[in-house]
Amino acid sequence: MNDQRGLTVVRPAAHTLSTVGGLSALLAGYHQQTEAEKGRPVTGPAGLPDRYRAEVEDPDSAFADAVVLVAQDGGTAAGCVVVTAPVAGHVEIKRLWTDPGLRGRGVASALLDAALAHAARSGVHTVRLSVWQWRTGALSLYERFGFAVTAPWDERAGLICMERAVEVPNPCTEQAGS
């Protein structure tokens, strides 16, 4: 069920990510789950590989050139997504994660909607992402949003690369709805 009452997606101001309540916990949850799925479980953020631990400990530095969006459900951080800076006409979606206790409420869909809207405003032509093949729920979600499997740009075993065209908003339609 997609119950989105009380759900908002916010873009924290630059250099304030470290102060966003729950963001570091979401990033830690994402990375700990990923490491466990790869057969390398860790007991906490301190056990994460250096580059992932850096995201948890200092998201402002780790995502200095990116946009981080945070979904909040009644003031609680429910999920996050990172959209990289534009490069060669595309952006990449990374770290899409919903708190496991808040899944089934449309959090990931709301985050993807916001990420795609940001991409459209950025003037890029393509949005791409990579997802582990065992994350079948995420794969289904991305397919529902129009992403299709494409030639890999990351050769790690088990990683599926996907992309979709950016739908540029029609200014006449946007004004009519204002």
Domain 7-177 is of which CATH architecture?
3-Layer(aba) Sandwich (3.40)
Close Cβ partners of 53 (under 8 Å, ≥ 6 residues apart): 31, 45, 46
- Whole-structure pTM over 0.85, yes or no? yes
Residue 63 to residue 93: CA distance in whole angstroms? 12
| 38 close to 157: Cβ distance less than 8 angstroms | no
The mean per-residue pLDDT over the stretch 144-172 comes to 90
- Burial bucket for residue 158 (CB in 10 Å: 0-12, 13-18, 19+): exposed
Give tens-digit pLDDT for 35-87: 999 999 999 999 999 999 999 999 999 999 999 999 998 888 999 999 999 99
Domains of the chain, by residue range, sit at: 7-177
Give tens-digit pLDDT for 120-155: 999 999 999 999 999 999 999 999 999 999 999 998
Close Cβ partners of 7 (under 8 Å, ≥ 6 residues apart): 71, 72, 73, 78, 105, 106, 107, 110
